[in-house]
Amino acid sequence: MSLSLQSPLSSALSSKSSFLQKGGGGGRLRLLSGSPSSNAIFFKLHNPSFPQIRASSLDAGASTELDAVSSLSEIVPDTVVFDDFQKFPPTAATVSSSLLLGICSLPDTIFRSAVDTALADSGCSSLENDVLRLSCFANKALVNVGGDLSKLVPGRVSTEVDARLAYDTHGIIRKVHDLLKSYGEIDVPPERLLFKIPATWQGIEASRLLESEGIQTHLTFVYSFVQAAAAAQAGASVIQIFVGRLRDWSRNHSGDPEIEAALKRGEDPGLALVTKAYNYIHKYGYKSKLMAAAVRNKQDLFSLLGVDYIIAPLKVMQSLKESLTTPDEKYSFVRRLSPHSAAAYSFSEEELIKWDQLSLASAMGPASVELLAAGLDGYVNQAKRVEELFAKIWPPPNV
Enzyme catalytic residues: 196
Residue 194 β-bridge partners: 158
Residue 240 near residue 188 (C-beta atoms within 8 A): no
Residue 79 β-bridge partners: 29
Its pTM stands at 0.83
What is the rounded CA–CA span in Å between residue 116 and residue 394? 9
**Over the chain, what HEC string results?**
CCCCCCCCHHHHHHCCHHHHHHCCCCCEEECCCCCCCCCCCCCCCCCCCCCCCCHHHCCCCCCEHHHHHHCCCEEEEEEEHHHHCCCCCCCCEEECHHHHHHHHHCCCCCCHHHHHHHHCCHHHHCCCCHHHHHHHHHHHHHHHHHHHHHHHCCCCEEEECCHHHCCCHHHHHHHHHHHHHHHHHCCCCHHHEEEEEECCHHHHHHHHHHHHCCCCEEEEEECCHHHHHHHHHHCCCEEEEEHHHHHHHHHHCCCCHHHHHHHHCCCCHHHHHHHHHHHHHHHCCCCCEEEEECCCCHHHHHHCECECEEEEEHHHHHHHHHCECCCCCCCCCCCCCCHHHHHCCCCCHHHHCCCCHHHHHHHCCHHHHHHHHHHHHHHHHHHHHHHHHHHHHCCCCCC
pLDDT in the model for residue 111: 80
- Identify which of 77, 118, 76, 82 has the alpha carbon closest to the alpha carbon of residue 97: 118
CATH architecture of 65-393: Alpha-Beta Barrel (3.20)
pLDDT in the model for residue 61: 44
- Identify which of 208, 344, 225, 349 has the alpha carbon closest to the alpha carbon of residue 276: 225
What is the rounded CA–CA span in Å between residue 366 and residue 373? 11
* Burial of residue 219, with CB atoms counted within 10 A of its CB: 0-12 exposed, 13-18 middle, 19 or more buried: buried
pLDDT in the model for residue 25: 37
Residue 161 near residue 207 (C-beta atoms within 8 A): no
Domain positions in the chain: 65-393
**Dihedral, CA of residue 144, residue 146, residue 148 and residue 154, to nearest 10:** -160
Residue 310 near residue 270 (C-beta atoms within 8 A): no
pLDDT in the model for residue 8: 31
* Residuewise pLDDT in 10s, the chain (399 residues): 333 222 233 333 333 333 323 333 334 444 443 333 344 333 333 333 333 333 333 444 447 898 889 889 988 777 545 555 667 766 778 899 999 998 898 877 778 899 999 999 999 999 999 999 999 999 999 999 999 999 988 889 999 999 999 999 999 999 999 999 999 999 999 999 999 999 999 999 999 999 999 999 999 999 999 999 999 999 999 999 999 999 999 999 999 999 999 999 999 999 999 999 999 999 999 999 999 999 999 999 999 999 999 988 889 988 998 988 764 534 568 899 999 999 999 999 999 999 999 999 999 999 999 999 999 999 999 999 999 999 998 876 655
Q: Residue 202: CA atoms inside 13 Å, Cβ hemisphere, count?
A: 12
- Cβ contacts of 37 within 8 Å, gap of 6 or more: 30, 31, 76, 78, 94, 158, 240, 291, 293, 309, 311
What is the rounded CA–CA span in Å between residue 399 and residue 273? 50
pLDDT in the model for residue 397: 62
Count the residues in the chain. Answer: 399
Residue 239 near residue 231 (C-beta atoms within 8 A): yes
